[in-house]
Chains A and B, each alone.
Chain A
Amino acid sequence: MKKSIKSILGLFTLALLAVFLLYSNHTSAEESQKIEQYAIPTEALPDGVRILSQEMAEKTDLFHPLNTASAPSETSPIADSQERAKLFDYGDVYASSMLIEGVMVGNFVYQYDSPKMAEEAATLLKRDLQAAMPLVAETETTFTLEGDEGDSIRWYIAPQEEMLILVVANGLEAKTVAETFNTVLTLIDNK
């Protein structure tokens, strides 16, 4: 009798575990699909574009800019612990990178709990960039900077619903970087 109760309990535990695993996989797939909807639509990119990576990232992965593993610069506004806590209070992050006409383009989508949080995060990053040197040009959502190897870096920072969308274009020739960057932003605007 005792043995059969134990067997039933064992089977019940296994069944619960299976249901939990199925549900968690299903939920994470749904989250992944949702966040990807805000990313650059790769199917709309011109022929010859080379996709280097497309993945859901961990918060600690160093290959996306708002990773929690890098120490912020001491002079940066996001070095402030309260501001930093707000910025890094996102859930999921989707990262992709691609080569377009010799320019590296990165696209990062961070999912916050509310549109207000995403907007606050965007404001913080923009404030940080306005203090960055050398800042070459800026609009409400775009920034042009010079990199440490004389390269040209362009950032797009914008909240959309509860998402924070970042796009970076990087290359040596400012003109080509600008053209590629603008092409990619058109794809985002047309979604």
Chain B
Amino acid sequence: MKKIATIAIVVMLFVALIPKLEEVHAGFWATAYDVKFTHYDPWWQPHYGAYFSGAYGSSQYFTGNSGAPSDYGSWHWWGPELHVLLLSKTWLFAPACMTFPNNPSICNDRWDGGRHHAYMAYH
């Protein structure tokens, strides 16, 4: 009886772990959930980034109407799990964007997480 119970538990654990193992190793395309302060270096100098779920981001692209510079795809990933795409201040605060809220259609989308996309290597 004990043997049967042990085998049943092992089988159940194995079945439960299969999807988890797949999740851990499967990469996926993701959309950022936030654009906000990332860190300060030194403490008085703020930096900004797009936050993604997952880890080890790459192949990023931007779908906002305001467009992204040609080197956007090579911008740096940051954080212990490289899940935050660092965004250039000169792009986020481009002069054309400074007319908000009089001209809200321009550049606001750079601060929308939903406009930043990337391939995340891990969940």
Assuming A65-B43, A73-B42, A99-B100, is B90 touching A151 (CB within 8 A)?
yes
Contact residues in B for A97 (Cβ distance below 8 Å) = 36-37
Is A101 in contact with B98, judged by CB distance below 8 angstroms? yes
- 8 A-B pairs in the complex with CB atoms less than 8 angstroms apart: A63-B37, A65-B43, A70-B39, A76-B42, A104-B92, A145-B45, A147-B45, A147-B89
Contact residues in B for A148 (Cβ distance below 8 Å) = 45
| Residues of B that sit less than 8 Å from A by CB | 34-46, 48, 88-90, 92-95, 97-101, 104, 107-108, 111
Is A104 in contact with B46, judged by CB distance below 8 angstroms? yes
Within 8 A of B (CB), among A1-57: 47-50, 52-53
Assuming A63-B36, A70-B40, A70-B41, is B111 touching A50 (CB within 8 A)?
yes
Contact residues in B for A173 (Cβ distance below 8 Å) = 93, 95, 98
Contact residues in A for B36 (Cβ distance below 8 Å) = 52-53, 63, 97
Interface residue? A111 (CB, 8 A): no
Is A65 in contact with B99, judged by CB distance below 8 angstroms? no
**For the side of the interface on A, what is the size category?**
35 or more
Is B111 in contact with A52, judged by CB distance below 8 angstroms? yes
Residue of A102, A129, A132, A168 touching B97 (CB-CB under 8 A) = A102
Is B46 in contact with A168, judged by CB distance below 8 angstroms? yes
Contact residues in A for B39 (Cβ distance below 8 Å) = 62-63, 70
The 4 closest A-B pairs by CB, nearest first: A48-B101, A102-B98, A172-B93, A63-B37
Is A172 in contact with B95, judged by CB distance below 8 angstroms? yes
Instruction: Identify which of B34, B43, B48, B100 gathers the most chain A CB atoms within 10 Å of its CB.
Output: B43
- A53 to B51: give the CA distance in the assembly, Å: 13
Q: How near does chain B come to A178, taking the closest CB pair, in angstroms? A: 13
- A171 to B39: give the CA distance in the assembly, Å: 16
- A153 to B40: give the CA distance in the assembly, Å: 12
- A149 to B95: give the CA distance in the assembly, Å: 14
Is B107 in contact with A102, judged by CB distance below 8 angstroms? yes
Assuming A132-B42, A153-B45, A155-B44, is B35 touching A172 (CB within 8 A)?
no
Contact residues in B for A159 (Cβ distance below 8 Å) = none
Is B35 in contact with A52, judged by CB distance below 8 angstroms? yes
Assuming A99-B111, A149-B88, is B93 touching A171 (CB within 8 A)?
yes
